Amino acid sequence: MKIPIQVSADSSAPMYLQIEEQLRALILSGELKEGTMLPSIREFAQGAGCSVITIRRVYQDLENEGILLTRQGTGTFVAKVGDTNRERYRRDAVIAALVEAIETGRSLQSGIQEMRDWFEEALKKVYTLDDGE
């Protein structure tokens, strides 16, 4: 299974976080099904153009989160996440992100209606930007 990960050197975010985020998204969105075996650390590292240590950390963090599972001498697999859990996880993650954005707005004195308008603009921005790419 080839994992499509993009690490951008421009981002200020550390590599391991960028990768974790993308892997997590792939798993929680269902694109990587449970039981799937992930590439070996070395393989992954080579593909992503980064150090083995970085990937080891990614696998370990996600294992601690309970969405990966490492079996000694065999490999690393996508753990079972009940569908209910997956939905809950997804929902929580998205709402948390939105709440954060709204709080920024509120601290800058945005009213609720203004925020709704701007949310629609932001939506448009993300999705038309998507077409262009």
> Which residues in this chain contact DNA in the complex, by CB under 7 A?
14-17, 38, 40-43, 50-54, 56-57, 59-60, 70-76
- Report the alpha-carbon distance of residue 50 to residue 46 in Å, rounded: 6
Name the packing angle between helices 52-65 and 41-48 (round to 10°).
Answer: 120
33 binds, among DNA, its own copies, none (CB under 5 to 8 A by kind): none
Q: Are 28 and 86 in contact (CB under 8 A)?
A: yes
- The closest alpha carbon to 75, from 31, 29, 42, belongs to 42
Distance of closest approach, residue 53 Cβ to its own copies, in angstroms: 10
Instruction: List residues binding its own copies (CB under 8 A).
Output: 9-10, 14, 21-22, 25, 28-30, 64, 69, 71-73, 90-91, 93-95, 97-110, 112, 115-116, 118-119, 121-123, 125-127, 130
